[in-house]
Chains A and B, each alone.
Chain A
Amino acid sequence: MAAVVTRDIVKTFGEVPAVNGISLNVPNGEFMVLLGPSGCGKTTFLRIICGLERQTSGDLLIGGDLVNDMPPRARGVAMMFQSYGLYPHFTVRNNIAFPLKTQGIPGAEISKKVEWASQLLGIGHLLDRRPRQLSGGERQRVALARALVRQPTALLLDEPLSNLDAKLRTSARQEIKQFQQRVGVTTIYVTHDQVEAMGMGDRIAVIDRGQVRQVGTPSEIYNDPADRFVATFVGAPPMNIVARNGGYLGFRPENFLPKDMVKDMVKDAAFTEFQFRVDRSEYLGSERIVYGVLEGFDTNEVVTAKLPPVHVAEAWIRPGEWHPFAVRDAALRHFGNDGKRTSRH
């Protein structure tokens, strides 16, 4: 177990930079989530850390040692591949045991650990099958077990839960998080699912086009986004952004509420009022998402409101109607013309 530190890592394929100067400091035992859209360089970054790819420039330190020129096996990093990379000619048992065997761990201990890892992920009954006899989700769990089974310096997981159904995903999320806390292994977890990112990460690094946009705890990322990209990438539905006074104003859908409600809530704190024309609304069971536009703003800027259960009833709100809405001033976020966060304008 060791800290992973990267300094200005750049990786270009031909002309195209896949990773464009990532400096990230993952302390020992931290669960760091890399969150970003498809093609932003997450996998490439992990491959650089585990040594399958050599960075074009920049330094990588694992446990304080510069490992730029160390081969993968000397780095002691475990990685779960986005596409699994199971060993098709081995049984599930031997797949999971393989990283232990290469380390020369005695047989009795190997079988104990394999047993433990397979129980953890609920694949104990599959140990004697081969990868081609497994479903997609089962393969994914075998790959995950193979990464978890040894004591790595750092654990790299590349979208480990993307192929599981919702229920399994929730329980696997629990398992991974608990495992990580118990073992205390430094973990870098790649996902583009923000629920996973928010729920699991000690900290989240939001990545876009090969660069880190913001690193912070889930609540920092959510409540204090550093720029418009982070603000609109995290949260579902994303933060509303409207142009105002040469800059941008942002507020989360759940803070955009009928004026009366806001008034009750904030007591005497300040709030900003908007006239909201409802265009369309979606009923989602526990909440209602309303889409519309604001009076006095560009009508191309669709604004969403997430209404709490009190207002879920259909009768209350109808398309075409204008309603007074408001946002607490404390929940307003300001962005400059370049998209960066500003305190006010």
Chain B
Amino acid sequence: MRRSSLVGVLQETSFYGAVAFFFVLAAFPFYWMLITSFKTNADLYNVNVTPFWFHDPPTLEHFRYLFDKTLFATWLLNSLIIGVCVTAITLVTALPAAYSLARMTGRNGEALGIGIFLTYLVPPTLLFLPLSRVIVDLGLQNSLWSLVVVYPTFTIPFCTWLLMGFFKALPVEIEEAAIVDGCSLFGAFVKMAIPLSLPGILTVVIFTFTLTLQEFVYALTFISAADQKPITLGVATDLVRGDVFFWGEIMAGALIASVPVAIAYNLFLDRFIGGITGGAVK
């Protein structure tokens, strides 16, 4: 009796110990960003106190600097424009592509899908050379629209492959029933396949948006005008002057950019994934 309760306590402790360890590991960088962005510079650079908490009262000076002295609001807007456009382009392209690969190509579809996925793995550091020619030919150099053109080259392959998996998991009888009930193939795709793969579509949206938000190499090579920069580039180029890092401002910028994404992840992912297709077939 005593023995087993001791074992139970040990098990509980080690379980929560492990959870706590990984929690700290995952959350610490975020916490560091949070406190840094609210610390005064004096507090930030004081090496004689523990750096894990405030010693001067928290301040908004970094945020004020961001919005008053830099083009931060423009960068934020640029990132948003790029993100929305790229996501839209990706969805419009990847949904029909994935559907046809999943449903209409038989066994070749699998190989084709993997082939498309492989193009995602070609590193941007190789691709920006040929792509820069394309951008110049399109007359988009030094414009945020160059990124709207370039980012789909890696979001579409990955998202096509991802959506293919979702479409394959749908029972084909649902679309067949719709077709027999009077839909065209396209009608069945729009009325059945798309709403039923909503979890997949949301995954694609979040994935694409995050990817465009954090992309750096293409942005750095294609854009130098300050008012065309997305947030990653703007923060990294305009808040690091020579070897002076504006840590407070950098962290404040990162905080503002990451909070909406974190909220979106938590709201959508859990709520929508799973449980939609239940009950369609035997």
Contact = CB atoms under 8 A, between A and B. Distances in A.
Task: Kindly name the residue among B180, B196, B275 whose own CB sees the greatest number of chain A CB atoms within 10 A.
Answer: B180
Interface residues of B, number: 24
B187 interface: yes
Interface stretch (B110-118, B156-164, B171-179, B262-270): B171-179
B192 interface: yes
A50 B173 CA distance: 13
Nearest to A140: B282
A72 to B, nearest CB: 5
A144 B280 CA distance: 14
Interface string B191-225: 01001100000000000000000000000000000
A77 B183 CA distance: 12
Q: Chain A interface: which size bin? A: 20 to 34
A88 B180 contact: no
A99 interface: yes
Nearest to A104: B182
Interface in A49-63: 50-52
Contacts, number: 84
Contacts of B277: 88
B184 interface: yes
Contact of A73 (B173, B184, B275): B184
Contacts of A132: 275, 278-279
B196 A81 contact: no
B181 A86 contact: no
A72 B174 contact: no
A271 to B, nearest CB: 49
Contacts of A87: 174, 177-178, 192, 280
A103 B184 CA distance: 12
B176 A130 contact: no
A85 B196 contact: no
Contact of A50 (B174, B180, B184, B276): B180
Contacts of B281: 83-86
B176 A52 contact: yes
Nearest to A133: B279
A99 B182 contact: yes
A99 B195 contact: no
Nearest to B182: A102
A315 to B, nearest CB: 47
Contacts of B180: 50-52, 72-73, 77-79
A163 interface: yes
A134 B278 CA distance: 10
Given A52-B176, A83-B281, A134-B279, A98 B171 contact: no
Nearest to A149: B181
Given A83-B173, A85-B171, A89-B195, A130 B178 contact: no
A341 interface: no
A132 B282 CA distance: 10
A157 to B, nearest CB: 12
A86 B182 contact: no
Nearest to A75: B180
Contacts of A86: 174, 177, 279-281
B181 A83 contact: no
Given A83-B171, A85-B174, A103 B282 contact: no
A284 B177 CA distance: 42
Contacts of B187: 102
A205 to B, nearest CB: 21
A102 B171 contact: no
Interface in B234-277: 275-277
24 contacts: A50-B180, A52-B176, A72-B180, A73-B180, A73-B182, A82-B282, A83-B171, A83-B281, A84-B280, A84-B281, A85-B174, A85-B176, A85-B280, A86-B280, A87-B174, A87-B178, A88-B279, A89-B195, A99-B182, A102-B182, A132-B279, A134-B279, A136-B282, A139-B279
Q: Top 6 closest A-B pairs, CB basis?
A: A85-B173, A132-B279, A131-B279, A132-B278, A102-B182, A85-B177
Interface of B: 171, 173-174, 176-184, 187, 192, 195-196, 275-282
Interface of A: 50-52, 71-73, 77-79, 81-89, 98-99, 102-103, 130-134, 136, 139, 146, 163
Given A52-B176, A89-B195, A132-B275, 7 more contacts: A83-B282, A85-B173, A86-B174, A87-B280, A99-B182, A102-B187, A163-B282
